[in-house]
Copies of this chain bind each other. A is one copy, B any other.
Amino acid sequence: MSTSLATDLHSLRAAIDMLWLVVAGALVFFMQAGFAFLEAGMARSKNTVNVIMKNYCDMCFGAVAYWMLGYGLMFGLNETGWLGTTAFGLHAVPESQYGMLFFQMMFAATSATIVSGAIAERTRFSAYIIGSVIITGLIYPVFGAWAWGSVYGGEGWLKKLGFVDFAGSTVVHSIGGWAALAALMVVGPRLGRFGPDGQPRQILGHNLTLVALGSFILWIGWFGFNAGSTLAANVSLGKIALNTHLGGAAGALGAMAMLTVLRQKVLLTATLNGSIAGLVGVTAGCHVMEPAYALLTGAVAGGLSVLAAKVLESRRIDDVVGAVSVHVVGGVWGTLAAGLFDASDMFNPARVGVQALGCIVACIWGFGASLLMYWLIDMVVPLRASTLDEQRGLDFTEHYEQGYPEFQHDAIHRGKHAPV
């Protein structure tokens, strides 16, 4: 009887782990909506359809690209520590791995979609989609293989060195953020974002309730993102969820505090971004930190996101949603913090060194490969929309639909947009 009980127990354990992967994966899926609405709200209404189309399509194309290529590169048999070589889509993902593939597919989409918000309002749709597919199918999984591979045997070289990035501060967020920075270099700032003498001019997002909706959705999705990264149901979920929440809350507070210290306006948009930076920050180490350190990690990430946004603006980099300041800066800091604040091994310099190495490698690969890619794409399909298209809005020129047809025409006619 015990043997049969053991079998039943084993099957129950497998069922619960699968249930958790599916629930967490669904929450991570929802983050796509979060990114879409945050970006849509931060853009002008004349680009609403373009923003949503980008975010919806990168997920759809990306699902196929990750299934066919990315998952195998990232999690397939990895004998060298550099690349997976099995488990590509059309054959050879065994059914027992379908839940894992589902969950990881959502992560890949998250990484790719980070670029979208940074280069909103002036990027050609087709060129964007090509880049997004390559990130999902190639750039993201290659780094993933180094840091997280593999489930089919073999171990990524960064992982072997002891690099720890639990749910992807670096693997997902920094890689996405570095790709965003590369795209920003190639595509340049929006028309009118900087004056002739380089001084910045604000271009206002058209709908801050949409931005807040995006932010709330990202936050709830993050519970799946972080706690789901256990890949199994266990009692550590509570700690991870608590640390995730404290990190997000502290991120908002850190951003508000930094703005206050800098004697700047405490804007809703900067506060929301601070909370997302906090969430990015705790992502790497939420499984090993004490709550007090999760709070600290989040607060610092939120504060840094404010500083980083200022630096980028002063460099005339026009990041519409603050993707680089949130995902790169939050991600690098969070990855270091995972080494610094591991409750079982606090402030170990060797650990921090390995974490820093991982961050540097992510920068070289994520930024380098993306820069090369966008440069190549730009030679074939210009990444930048034409000046006329940008002025009229991409909805009109690329998508033939308007976001708010009853309310928008007049706004356009009366010239109420920011100067372009």
Complex Cα distance, B235 from A275, in Å, reads 35
- Contact partner of A36 (CB less than 8 A), chosen from B5, B23, B212, is B212
B242–A26 CB distance below 8 A: no
B56–A238 CB distance below 8 A: no
How many of A's residues come within 8 Å of B, CB to CB? 116
B61–A253 CB distance below 8 A: yes
**Chain B residues, Cβ within 8 Å of A93:** 291
The binding surface of chain A is classed by DSSP as helix
* Copies of this chain, count: 3
**Chain B residues, Cβ within 8 Å of A44:** 406
Q: Indicate whether A16 sits within 8 Å of B12 (C-beta atoms), given known contacts A56-B252, A235-B96, A246-B63.
A: yes
B16–A5 CB distance below 8 A: no
A235–B15 CB distance below 8 A: yes
Q: Which residue of B lies closest to A248 (CB)?
A: B60
B15–A208 CB distance below 8 A: no
Complex Cα distance, B360 from A5, in Å, reads 46
Of A333-341, A347-355, A396-404, the stretch lying at the interface with chain B is A396-404
Q: Does A262 make an interface contact (CB < 8 A)?
A: no
**Chain B residues, Cβ within 8 Å of A182:** none
Q: Does A138 make an interface contact (CB < 8 A)?
A: no
Contact with B along A368-404 (1 / 0, CB 8 A): 0000000000000000000000000000000111111
Q: Does A261 make an interface contact (CB < 8 A)?
A: no
B275–A405 CB distance below 8 A: no
Q: Does A269 make an interface contact (CB < 8 A)?
A: yes
Q: Does A197 make an interface contact (CB < 8 A)?
A: no
B209–A52 CB distance below 8 A: yes
Contact with B along A287-316 (1 / 0, CB 8 A): 000011001000000000000000000000
- Contact partner of A6 (CB less than 8 A), chosen from B1, B208, B238, is B1
10 pairs of A and B residues whose beta carbons are closest in the complex: A99-B238, A33-B216, A63-B249, A60-B249, A98-B238, A102-B242, A26-B223, A204-B405, A60-B252, A15-B233
